[in-house]
Amino acid sequence: MNNTIVKTDFNFKNQTAVYKGKVRDVYTLKNNLLVMVASDRLSAFDVVMPKGIPYKGQILNQIATKMMKETEDLVPNWLISTPDANIAIGHSCEPFKVEMVIRGYLSGHAAREYKKGVRILCGVDMPEGMIENGKFPKPIITPATKADFGEHDEDISKENIILKGIVSKSDYEVLEDYTRKLFQRGTEIAGKRGLILVDTKYEFGRTSSGKIVLIDEIHTPDSSRYFYAEGYSLRQEKGEPQKQLSKEFVRQWLIKNDFQGLENQTVPHMSDDYVHEVSERYIELYENITAEKFIKSNTSNIINRIQSNVENFLNSYE
């Protein structure tokens, strides 16, 4: 359990700044380059759990980079290279301060709000008479403000995003168009693998040349929710929970242990056995989402491995 990345403190060549997110640490270099480290930190309800999950960073990084390559014909992205299992290197971007959340089904946060009687989420109508995990007539976009570390993302409507000047109207329309295209492609990819892409989020940034590109992660179990397609309809008819591929199982474990990231709540103890179980679930997610066997990287000295691989790339990139 000790061979996990829960904290990084790299000093790469030509490094100018560092940003520590909930899961990823982003190092800014000269020449408009970013080095993104996918850590093994686990975040739920916008709170980072006290223990790292073995191989989680590798899993997220490899799914995200694979999916970016499978969608780059539709939407430009920031990625240049992946010189290490936990590393993505790409173009430096100014991030838009919103997460573009798109939902094809009434699940997760949307379902919890629906049960409270909410019928308008982020300015978007949700039809009456829906049941949890039911399919929306058309996917809905429910944006969220991008929170700083330790703070909660917040739902926001398209109208308020534009009104508050968070994103201009013309830029938002590009983000909306890209979001729908990516979700459609993600749905097609998932379908080929016997899965349903339920909901997901995308993040975008602007390069120094002014181009809007996809950044961060895409179609990973941290940013997305999947159902198994087989048996979906029957489970809905019976009112049974759907078989999921996402980190929702972590959220449900936390809820059962009286934690939802609310004030005065304490993160429950995560035993080594539970951490191992979460790691195995993430490996299962990887293999189902990618239809590939997961190959564990050498974790005997992760930090030195990353430092060496990044330095080798940077020396060859010049």
3-state secondary structure of 202: strand
Are 98 and 144 contacting, i.e. CB atoms less than 8 angstroms apart?
Answer: yes
Task: Report the share of the chain in percent with pLDDT over 90.
Answer: 84
The pLDDT of residue 150 is 47
When pLDDT is averaged across residues 88-92 and rounded to a whole number, the result is 96
Asked whether residue 49 is assigned to any structural domain, the reply reads no
The pLDDT of residue 45 is 87
Which of 217, 184, 226, 215 lies closest to 59 in space, CA to CA?
217
186-245 per-position pLDDT tens digit? 999 999 999 999 999 999 999 999 999 999 899 998 899 999 999 999 999 999 999 888
Integer Rg of the chain from CA: 19
203-217 per-position pLDDT tens digit? 999 999 999 999 989
Q: Which residues pair with 141 in a beta bridge?
A: 102
Q: What is the CATH number for 210?
A: 3.30.470.20
Number of domains in the chain: 1
When pLDDT is averaged across residues 289-311 and rounded to a whole number, the result is 95
Asked whether residue 46 is assigned to any structural domain, the reply reads no
Looking only at Cα atoms, what is the longest distance across the chain? 60
Asked whether residue 191 is assigned to any structural domain, the reply reads yes
Q: Which residues pair with 38 in a beta bridge?
A: 24
Asked whether residue 69 is assigned to any structural domain, the reply reads no
Name the residue range of residue 215's domain. Answer: 95-245
Kindly report the pTM of this predicted structure.
0.88
